[in-house]
Amino acid sequence: MIAIGGDALRLLPVMVAAALGGAVNAVAGGGTLLTFPSLVSLGISPIVANATSTVALWPGSVSSMYGYRDALRGAGGWAVAFAVPSLAGGALGAWLLLHTSPERFAHLAPWLVLGATSLFAMQGVLAARRGAVPELARPRLRHLAAQFAVGVYGGYFGAGIGILMLAVLGMIGLRDIHRMNGLKNWGGTCMNFVAAATFSFTRLVDWPVALAMAVGSIAGGYVASRGAQRVPQYLVRRAVLVVGFVSGAWLLVEQLRR
């Protein structure tokens, strides 16, 4: 671990990366792909960078969820139901990170991100074939099981986790992208809370860096969540697709370079 707490010039780039990461997470997900490389570039080991990024971006997920508070009105049943599988999945994912080598899971990341983005892209075609589908009052058991699996992935690594959650919500039948983003940020807040709390009791977090990045992620998450709701939904969906495919391609290139 590198002690860089007093070096403001070296902390500034990661603060900017955290602000952008919080903004990307608020709209689509994939902010980890901005913060993780910036931390590694400072000489921080990948596993410490992963844990530090998780802790730093969690406050941003809280601020972005607050920014989506208007879109979440009437979705209390979904929020309550999603809390338990998100918390449980995040806890299991964090435990796996502490007990397995990150490299064993890293080779799956690009395919999971690209697969989740493809599912999100297919929602429009599937919706047209099925016709109008009313939104469910509450998620069903299979939907909670899917959210638990998403939570495990989010607690372990988290790259593209928001896109995966949006894909699951779209497959369930939700269509309002702003409400979907609000629920996605709620699920991310739950799973990342457990993961961040777990990492906080280990030596995997570079605290000077994490605290500096948290400031950036809070600002980026809130500003982006409020701004995204003033943009037409089709543009937000396109932004999600761009972030997803670019993120998946970046992970794939990084994997091939190893």
Domain map (residue ranges) of the chain: 8-257
- Hunting for tokens 């844990």 — which residue is that? 51
How many Å apart are CA 154 and CA 90, to the nearest integer? 6
Q: What is the structure's pLDDT at 123?
A: 61
Buried b (16+ CB within 10 A) or exposed e, 153-166: bbbbbbbbbbbbbb
Q: Which residues of the chain have pLDDT under 50?
A: 1-6, 131-133
Residue 92: per-residue pLDDT? 94
Predicted TM-score (pTM) of the model is 0.74
Place of tokens 């980890």: 32
**Tell me: the pLDDT tens digits for 97-149?**
888 776 776 677 778 778 777 877 776 565 555 544 455 567 788 889 989 99
User: Taking the CA of residue 53 as centre, how many other CA atoms within 13 Å lie in the half-sphere pointing to its CB?
Assistant: 32
Burial class (CB in 10 A: 0-12, 13-18, 19+), 60: buried
CA separation for the pair 150, 161 (Å, rounded): 7
Do 183 and 78 touch, CB atoms closer than 8 A? yes
d(CA 180, CA 202): 33
